[in-house]
Homo-oligomer: A and B are copies of this chain.
Amino acid sequence: MSRTPRGETRSRILEFMRRRIAAGEPPTVREVQQAFGFRAVESARAHLRALVQAGQLVHLPGRARGYRLPEPVGALSWVPLLGRVQAGALSDAIEAPEGYVPVRAQDAGKAHFALRVVGWSMVGAGILPGDLVIVRRQPTAHSGEIVVALVGDEATVKTLRLRGGQVVLEAQNPDFPPIFPDPESLRILGKVVEVRRYLEEGS
């Protein structure tokens, strides 16, 4: 039986595993076997075992489709892209997201969502209309951080500033005056942890 030179098949298998796992579909040992034309399941498994040995894969013994990628390549998640967010309707909006955006797993979980920016008020911070902001939900924030806050009935993106005990929402654009919200009615939805701009159609 002819045979591929040392190590070459192995890295091709790693590539195969990376693709499949990243696509959310870890393969079975037998799928690896077939994909590479082995005639025995064990041949595939030996390669997988070697890749685990080399630290390039992680194995959960006994579990079906139990091979994973070691961090940081492996972990990622999706965050719901909400349209406009009305006061109090945040949880409703999460029920019917406009779409989903991939993020690193550390930014995942229920605590995050994404919004599309409307208007030019934050150009000074490099945030343009149409950009997506990824927001970690939290009820407070530090001075200087960019937050999503409810002002009136609509969510807006602004820089939070504390001026002598007084909360100010600053735009990053001289054309937009700062907002001095009533502390009672101010509600911080979360902190902007990422800004994203797609330059081609499709979100």
Q: A102-B103, A126-B126, A199-B193 are in contact. Are A76 and B26 (CB under 8 A)?
A: no
Q: Decide: A194 and B195 in contact? CB cutoff 8 A.
A: no
Q: Decide: A95 and B64 in contact? CB cutoff 8 A.
A: no
Binds B, one of A65-73, A148-156, A161-169: A65-73
Assembly stoichiometry (copies): 2
Binds B, one of A14-22, A32-40, A174-182: A14-22
A139 within 8 A of B: no
Q: Which residues of B contact A184 (CB under 8 A)?
A: none
| Shortest Cβ gap from A127 to chain B (Å) | 7
Q: Fill in one digit per residue for A167-203: 1 if any B CB lies within 8 Å of its CB, else 0.
A: 0000000000000000000000000111111111011
Q: Decide: B100 and A72 in contact? CB cutoff 8 A.
A: yes
| Shortest Cβ gap from A198 to chain B (Å) | 5
Q: Decide: B22 and A77 in contact? CB cutoff 8 A.
A: yes
Q: Decide: A196 and B199 in contact? CB cutoff 8 A.
A: no
| Shortest Cβ gap from A71 to chain B (Å) | 10
| Shortest Cβ gap from A157 to chain B (Å) | 12
Q: Decide: A24 and B102 in contact? CB cutoff 8 A.
A: no
